[in-house]
Structure 1
Amino acid sequence: MKTNINIVYNGQTEEAFNFYRSIFGGDFIAVSRMSDIPNAPAMPEEQANKILYMSLPIGEDIIAGMDCPASAPPVVQGNNFMINISTASVEENTRLFNKLAEGGEIKMPLAHQFWGAFFGMLTDKFGITWMLSYVNQEQS
């Protein structure tokens, strides 16, 4: 199991991650824009160019970021992060997701996603947002 931090920005993800890369070095692992979502509804160019997902390795760990979608209220600095758990199997992902969801709120039910992960997102009963993801490395 691997744990990483995801940070949500109000449109500054790309700028922030270029800043972090200038400090820590390395290359981005992934950069996806809102326009990369399959069958996405038409959106203004400014929204289409916002970051859906961006990640940068720092040593053995990864920080990931995204821009807050236009449909969501702006994030507040200080509570704009999520904990991302990469699990070893669909079963482990499901077990942890279901336990963390007890008394909390499911934001995105567990499902196979277009980027190849079995993924779900929830906020636990203490207000912490978790993203759980399983990617079969043999198939990716």
Structure 2
Amino acid sequence: MAQVNAYLTFNGNCEEAFNFYKSVFGGEFPYIGRFGDMPPSEDGKQVPEADKNKIMHVSLPISQETILMGSDTGGEWASKHVAGNNISLSVNTDSKEEADRIFNGLSAGGNVTMPLAETFWGAYFRMWTDKFGIHWMVNYDDPAKMQH
């Protein structure tokens, strides 16, 4: 069974926005990671100094079923940020197979913006825009690879 959550992308003010959302919804952030926490890319590229303190990922549980998630954009992605076009639907699955099935179905006729990746945080992850212009992410958190 998959869980669908809203994923919001900001242009440098994600932390401010999520502190505001937390003041309204209550609760705590179970995770908040910054771009400076990322390891260097495979080609040795480091995160630019201007982006190191920006939010790579934050989550705020709103109810038992719903998590509001977000991040800042940076680098070459920043120029593509458009207010109103900065919301994605994030699908968390119980297996790689389910992640593949959802990706293969919803990406048909669309545009893959981040191909399948085994991430440094232990997830099986993809991003795409479907043929209707809706932004999607699919994520499977492999319990054997999760970092805390």
Cα distance in 1 between the residues matched to 2:11 and 2:99: 29
Give, in angstroms, the shift of residue 103 of structure 1. 0.6
Task: Pick the aligned partner of 2:60 from 44, 56, 69.
Answer: 56
Give, in angstroms, the shift of residue 111 of structure 1. 2.4
Cα distance in 1 between the residues matched to 2:23 and 2:4: 23
Matched, 1:81 2:82: no
TM-score by length of 2: 0.88
- Does the C-alpha gap of structure 1 residues 44 and 93 become closer, same or farther in structure 2, counting only changes over 3 Å? closer
Number of paired residues? 140
Read off the aligned partner of 2:135 and give its amino acid letter.
T
Within a 5 Å distance, the mapping from 1:85-100 to structure 2 comes to 85-100=91-106
Read off the aligned partner of 2:23 and give its amino acid letter.
S
Structure 1 gap segments, 5+ residues each: none
Provide the identity percentage: 45
CA shift digits 1:79-107 (9 cap, x unpaired): 11110000111111011101111111111
Structure 2 gap segments, 5+ residues each: none
TM-score by length of 1: 0.92
Q: Considering only aligned residues, what root-mean-square deviation do their CA atoms show, in Å? A: 1.5
The runs of at least 4 aligned residues of structure 1 exceeding 6 Å deviation read none
Give, in angstroms, the shift of residue 138 of structure 1. 5.7
